[in-house]
Amino acid sequence: MASHRKSRPSGARAAGIRTPALATAALTSVALLSQTADAAPAPAPDGKPSLEEVEKKVDDLYRQAESATEKYNAAKERTTKQRKRVDTLLDDVARRTQKLNSAREELGSFAAAQYRSGASTPDTATFLLADTPQDYFDQTQLMSRLTSRQKGAVDDYVTEQSATMKKRQEATRSLQTLTETQGDLHTAKATVQQKLSAARAMLSKLTAEEKARLAEIERKKQEAAAEKAAELAKQQKAEQAARQDTPDSSSSSASSSPSASSPSSASSASGDAYSVKAGKALAFARAQVGKPYVWGATGPGSYDCSGLTQAAWKAAGVTLPRTTYDQVNAGTTVPLADARPGDLIFFYDDVTHVGLYIGNGMMIHAPKPGAYVREESVYYGGESIIHSVVRPA
């Protein structure tokens, strides 16, 4: 990643995410929501939850499943890395063991030669049978009888024995860590499956009429979100026009000095380079529209939210981390009003959802289980759930 990127705490909402123009609308929305809360629907006569309660519960379950999915992705990534480390350590231990055996064989040949010549048989035999040969060879009397080649063989043996033991201990610890991360992986997987099963069970109990009403509620939400997206697009265009109409003092001063380099020119060149990469990422994302959301999937036939954004920017030559928790720190945070096509938009305080901004208040994302990759307003769940905007390149 570029050196200008700075990490940010994943739990804090980015400063500047709201704008004065949107604040009034947000207050109005809060007031309306308060009125709606005061007029909550009464429970059904038969004790069944209301349709609104079912919708909220299902949405909560999907949210919990998505959160568990990101934990699953993180555990899977750790498991993969740890497995590679364990394999590397075990290979190293095998190589060192082979060298240790070679050193032992060389010492054995010295002992056999001494035995045949009748020289120093007791000392050599004692060395080979000793549990700690280093302690024995520290004795000056025996060391004085060894040739320089024999001393070298002994040193090699002791060094390899110590190094091999350390690597074996390291491999044992890594295996324990691998077992723990595999446990986290299984736990996260079970949580995802449990939440999805609960959501499906609730939806399966709805009648055809209730499902139709639920679809109508969703349609109205999307209409409201589309209106908010249009407001954001209008605001962004107005601010862009204002910037273009503002004289650039740096550029006028630079024009008086031919050798000077204009900061605005450098900024423009950087912006153009980003636009090219973002265009490639967006082209890839658009080609995935209609493919199903599958938790833990990274393509090509299906995606989860962070799997889609990772694959899209990979198509542009930019490597993003696997999870939303890491992607949110993989770039420069910008205000929502300054969002550009290609930027990553993160949602919820625990940063468990991400989409790819395409402009005009819209994004492409893999929404949730049971849904498909689609274009949708960044306000699909309301303004309050928008966490931050990050420019990844």
**Active-site residues: which are they?**
305, 353, 365
Q: 385, 347 in Cβ contact below 8 A?
A: yes
Vertex 312, ends 276 and 185: CA angle to 5°?
150
Question: Does an H or E element contain 366, and which?
Answer: none
| 3-state SS, residue 315 | coil
334 bridge partner residues: 389
- The string of DSSP codes covering 251-284 is HHHHHT-TTS--HHHHHHHHHHHHHHHHHHHHHH
Sign of torsion, CA 102 106 109 114? negative
Q: How many CB atoms lie within 10 A of CB 28?
A: 10
CA dihedral 72, 77, 82, 83 (to 10 degrees): 90
Beta-sheet strand order (sheet of 344-347): 332-334, 386-391, 344-347, 353-359, 362-365, 374-377
